[in-house]
Amino acid sequence: MPTTLRLHSPHRLVTSSLLLAAALSACSGVALADWNENPPVMLQWFECPWNDMEHRAPDFFMAGYGSVWVPPVSRPYIWPGSSNQNATSPGYDVFDRFDLGKPNARTAYGTEAGFDAAVEAIHRANGEFYVDSILNHNAARQTGSGFQNDGGYPGFWMAPTTPATNKSPTSNWGDFNPGNAQGYPQSTNENDPNYCLLSGDLVALIDINQASNNMFIRQPVAAGNPLNLPGGTYFNNPDPNNARFYFDSALGTDSVSNPGMSFAGALTTGAYTPPCDVPARNEPSTTYTRGRFNIANATAGDPEPENATDYLMRWTQWMLDVKKVDGFRLDAAKHIPSWFWDSYFDSVMHNARITPDGRQVTAFSFGECVAGNDFIFDRYIRKPNGRTSGRLVAGDAFGNRDALDLSGAGSLRNLINAGGFGTWTDITGSHLDTIDDGFNNGSVGVNHVFSHDNGSQGNGSSVPSVPTSRQQGWFAHAYLLMRTGQSIVYHNARLVGRTGSGFYPREGTPIALGYDQNASALNPVLTNLVGLSNMVGRGEFTPRWQDGDVMIFERRTPLGGGNYSGNCLVGASDRYDSGYDQRTVNTSFPAGTRLIELTGNATSSTVDPVNDIADVLVVGPTGQVQFRVPRNTSSAGEHNLGFVVYAPAIPNGTLSVTNVASTISSETTGAVGRRRLTSVPVITADSFQIQLTTTNGDAGAANNDNADDNAVFRINQGYQDWNNSGGVDIDHTNAVVPGYEQFVTLHQPLANTANTMGQYAQTIDATQLPEGMNYISVIAFRKRSGNEAPLFREFRQVVYIDRECPTVQLALPPGPYTTTTLQATIRSVDGTVLPAVVGSVSSPGVHVLVNPNPAFDPTTLVATSNAATRVDRQEWSRAVTGLVHGTNRIVVLAVQENARVCATEFQIFVNLCPADVDDGSGTGTPDGGITIDDLLYYLSIFNAGAIGADVDNGTGTGTPDGGVTIDDLLYYLTRFNAGC
């Protein structure tokens, strides 16, 4: 298929690297390059409230991650009588799927508004957002009649009796799988006589029967509908707000043609025994109808009857369409029949994600299947352009569903835990990636070392200590991040209390975002690897040496005819005795190629105190190199940096921005998981420049032949014309830099010149950027031949745009106002107001002044005494006191992240004087003073017998009694004479 790189200005340079990047992405069929291009590394970010995740989005971006996986977002069960309705459970005992948290009833991570803000922040940082999805079970199985009287599980029918009675295992359980004469089956211990994989409870969590067909309106909107799910004291009752969870029938529907999914090959387990075993996949083609949510008017949703699977699919689509997540990690996937995934889930996911450039693509998901690799692949994977190798028949290109590589992760943890006495020989063969075609080529499997279930430290029963550098397994992460396929780094932020929860997500890699808690210092060891994965980690995974001590592999791109383009060479060691291991290995690099060590370990005085490890490797005449891999200990002591990454030199350089007004400092105090490590320049001008200065990445090079030959940039999610070329310069067909723009203001590459530096600049119209955090990526390409894969250096910068004061809204109870105190709600519209607590900053984001002295600048009056209380992500509350008779000035002070204070004034009229009834207009409008106009107006309405003249019941207390008598006149005259 021919490929055209869309460039809208003929003078603009197109590099050979860019052209190859476009060509790689355009190959028809199952292109090797499609599999072997690394997706950006995913950060599994747990125990982090949404507000803190939003705050640390700059750190996520600067670390180089491309996506985030978060824990279950829905509300778990809390007994209705509990005095504290804020959840602390990690969320795997999901109760109410559509409840993502409210100010007075939060999840462990916050509120729905906070979740929305976190998703938006990660998206703006060009990251994808994946949510842990619980479709197998609900919270704990409740058997008592009291729970049924409460209303039962939200959205589910449990066949309650009237009156309710306690349920037994053999009762009718409605949407849930029942028990049997032996009790309730369980689905985790295969040796248990009452084991059932598909219909047993998972650790006492009630198992949903996805095949049940009980039709109800499962989130009732209007009372009295006979199709409503039966409600109770607390749950499943009609609520007009439930309309927002339903499709709007007026918008029509979408039909999805699912080609079905079948299996070609012998199952790897014994005969299928219903209802507990997973059968062979043999799903027919189907047409699935998807509704449409009304994003502009959420209340326009129309409730319709549905069964349990319909309800689960509606939640899945709601998360995609309304909450804008990009996909899911599928909890307990093997405990659900494969037909549920193949026929229903995949139909909802198909072309359901909108990319930053507006295309519809199939959303990605990956399942948790604690089983053998054959079992997982045969039943629970459905990938686009899937390899067949005799195992899958046509139809698998419809879905985009993968699975966690639990076997490979277990092997890597075993290697770490062996403390230098393990072996690398069985690592590659243990990966799920080998199961479809025998190669570690990224075709299947989501790779990781640690997770919330299998961590680096602790046993899950209590808060673990911070893992040591050795326990974090940095050398294993070097292997993981530089090999093919989607990889995950697991980070536990430790920001959620788990007292009495009975489950603590395991510890992972505290260094994931660049801070070493053990050393109380910055440490980029892992973030550097994430960056190298992005920059040079492309092409086939080709093992070059694998023994008990070291793993050495090359990443290379096939060029056809048995020729390859070498991209990088990686070595890792698990040994903890001092020294290094040397191996002579073949490479795909031409003789004489200079390979630069890019992790910094070869130049480290701790890792290599006597200069045993080469800073530069020169490929020999036959393509071989003598490759030395440092062990995790040297004569300088244990360092846990037993790995190296060599590649052809990529450009060095410095990225900067102009027109910087101030800088938001990085944070050094407060909870470690909450501190933002990134300092952010603030831009208040209408324009600024992105400037990149490059130097040759190989100081020993004879010339600049392989220095940078081009640089491109992206702001936020890209696909915006920043250089006035008439359109987006590089479109989505480019495999490496889709959505990027060319530098036009200044474009001076270093390659093939005698200069000492390259220079690039682009003037940016800041008025086109959103207020708040914005994310800049600049990529400088190494000049390579037209048949070589692109290698580059990426530079990242976060900037804070603050051109305008934030828009705030003041909400008060309905008037007229006749009191000195009112409860106010303040909302921030653009989301740039500082939260109540952010990192090391404790200044509240909103303050309220009542009738401040006009002689003073109100922005200087920020004080704890006038602070509002934050109740939601961008909502504050405060009692407004000291109101006086007449027009009152309420001034809201909004504090932004750069400490800028903006004042917004609101005016309200408070009537504390019953005699102030008119301003002379005869309309009954008080004006704050007592004049003859008030008396004349009152006499007019008294003579007319108007109800407004009813001001007293004869007691002289100002209490109306429903009639107009002389008592009212006498009372008014008394008040008029008294004045205000």
pLDDT tier at 387, thresholds 50, 70, 90: very low
Average pLDDT of the residues in 70-92: 93
Looking only at the bridges linking them, the beta strands covering 792-801 and 680-683 are: parallel
Q: How would you label 504-542 residue by residue, b for 16+ Cβ within 10 Å and e otherwise?
A: bbbbbbbbbbbbbeeeeeebbbbbbbbbbbbbbbbbbbb
Which helix (H) or strand (E) segment is 863 a member of?
none
Provide the whole-model pTM: 0.93
Q: Helix H segments across 523-653?
A: 525-535
Output 507 or 9, whichever has higher pLDDT. Answer: 507
pLDDT at residue 271 is higher than 90: no
Distance CA 793, CA 895 (A): 37
Predicted local confidence at residue 393, as pLDDT? 39
Q: Are 177 and 156 in contact (CB under 8 A)?
A: no
What Å distances lie between residue 450 and 415, 444, 480, 518, CA to CA? 12, 19, 11, 19
pLDDT at residue 509 is higher than 50: yes
Average pLDDT of the residues in 190-198: 94
**What is the Cα 364 distance to its own chain's centre?**
14
- Quick one: what percent of the chain has pLDDT higher than 70? 92
Distance CA 717, CA 715 (A): 6
pLDDT at residue 9 is higher than 80: no
Would you list the DSSP string of 90-155? -SSSEEETT---BTTB-BTTB-HHHHHHHHHHHHHTT-EEEEEE--SEEEE---SHHHHHHT-STT
Q: What is the DSSP letter of 404?
A: B
Predicted local confidence at residue 261, as pLDDT? 84
Which residue matches tokens 């992760």? Answer: 409
Which helix (H) or strand (E) segment is 78 a member of?
none
pLDDT at residue 225 is higher than 70: yes
Read off the tokens for 490.
């697991």
Distance CA 312, CA 369 (A): 19
Q: Are 490 and 508 in contact (CB under 8 A)?
A: yes
Strand, helix or coil for residue 486: strand
Distance CA 378, CA 388 (A): 11
Read off the tokens for 218.
């499962």
Predicted local confidence at residue 458, as pLDDT? 87
- Quick one: what percent of the chain has pLDDT higher than 90? 83
Query: Tens digit of pLDDT for each residue in 323-379?
Result: 999 999 999 999 999 999 999 999 999 999 999 999 999 999 999 999 999 999 888
pLDDT at residue 417 is higher than 50: yes
Predicted local confidence at residue 280, as pLDDT? 76
pLDDT tier at 33, thresholds 50, 70, 90: very low
Average pLDDT of the residues in 89-96: 96
Query: Tens digit of pLDDT for each residue in 832-888?
Result: 997 654 443 445 689 999 999 999 999 999 999 999 999 999 999 999 999 999 999
Looking only at the bridges linking them, the beta strands covering 42-46 and 67-70 are: parallel
Query: Tens digit of pLDDT for each residue in 98-140?
Result: 999 999 999 999 999 999 999 999 999 999 999 999 999 999 9
Average pLDDT of the residues in 602-622: 97
pLDDT tier at 629, thresholds 50, 70, 90: very high
φ/ψ of 935, rounded to 5, equals -65, -45
Read off the tokens for 888.
């009152």
